[in-house]
Amino acid sequence: MTPLNDPPRSCLIDPLAGLRAPGDAAPDVYLTGTVFLDIIFTGLDSAPVRGTESWARGMGSSPGGVANMATALARLGLRTSLAAAFGDDKYGEYCWETLERGEGIDLSLSRTVAGWHSPVTVSMAYEGERTMVSHGHEAPPSRPEPAGASPPGARSAVASLTPGRPQEWIGRAAASGTLIFADTGWDETGVWDLSALPDLAHCEAFLPNAAEALRYTRADDPRAAAHALAERVPIAVVTMGADGAYGVDARTGEAAQVPAIVVEALDTTGAGDVFMAGFVTATLAGWPLADRLALAGLTASLSVQEFGGSLSAPGWAEIAAWWRRTQALTPDDGVEHASLERYAFLSELLPGEDRPLPRRRAVPTLGFRG
């Protein structure tokens, strides 16, 4: 296990350095959920057609599911603790080794389940979209304490809320002072009732996408939806795809919108998780709302230019490289002065070119051994 009082491997920027007390070894962020083995095919010209064979120009594999979020957080310098079940097959072994040794994620609250195979997702990316097929079985509960008991003293935790399925650990964590950041998925019941998300009352921030926010609030546009959600949580953020993200801080009354960075997407797997990781990091660091949205959007944009859900998450090396390239651009290159001003806060955080940051991107395949 990587000690929590050490920074994640090769991460030379600690965004929370000014907040840490001597000897403080508590996690910055805690997560629990299901780890999948993701197998991603990219470079497909179109959706697969029944009865035919399609060849992809690219392929990668990486830990997926909750591992997407955990990796994105660790690469941004947060001490990350993950409680999850791992199969005792080769897939589970690969996912555990990649997360613990490769990314410095604390797995002391995780467990390997004998006789249980790892859940698997196959993702096919084409025309800017993706299609996924998954298979897996719920892991048997552990005794005496199930994975999912939040570690005491964690600064924050990330949760995915499911209608009608409250999670006991969320209330316990919030009562101990942990800030809960939550998103949600598609409501399969079709009811879209916020009262079906009782854990929302324990959350510091709620970050649904625009389609989810509009259905839950019955609002006419994503901005109105964000304001409606801010009546229930201190911070509400609605992600709007190509239109960026809009956030409301109910405590201060502040609202901000940051446009998306236009890029050519190779694989959108895990982009929402990376956005969440950027927002959590900047929030814990105490940044202004607009800067939080900007970092979150930037990290998500960088991630979709690589394939592999968790292993596409950018670290500070990728962020620094993007910022240096952006500063070197001119209006003739299509960059607007407003873009440079929006991300100027990075100059105070990132080291100069005389202190290069190592890349933290692992090889996205389980076939090679380092």
Supply the range of the domain harboring residue 201: 155-250
Per the CB < 8 A criterion, the answer to whether 244 and 253 are in contact is no
The reported pLDDT for the residue numbered 366 is: 59
User: Residue 195: helix, strand or coil by DSSP?
Assistant: helix
**Amino acid 294: pLDDT:** 96
- Classify residue 65: in a domain, yes or no: no
Residue 218, domain CATH:
3.40.1190.20
Residue 4 domain-assigned (yes or no): no
**pLDDT score at 91:** 94
CB 270 within 8 A of CB 309: yes
Three-state SS at 249: strand
On whether residue 116 sits in a domain, the answer given is no
In a domain, 168, yes or no: yes
Residues with Cβ within 8 Å of residue 322, at least 6 apart in sequence: 298, 302
pLDDT of the residue at 61: 84
Q: How far apart are CA 128 and CA 265, in angstroms?
A: 6
Q: Show the low-confidence residues of the chain (pLDDT under 70).
A: 1-12, 128, 142-150, 265-270, 306-310, 330-339, 352-370
| In-domain check, residue 283 | no
Q: How many domains does the chain have?
A: 1
Residue burial 140-153, b: 16+ Cβ < 10 Å; e: rest: eeeeeeebbebbee
pLDDT tens digit string along 236-271? Answer: 999 998 889 999 999 999 999 999 887 776 566 668
Query: How high is the pLDDT of residue 209?
Result: 95
Assigned domain for 166 exists? yes
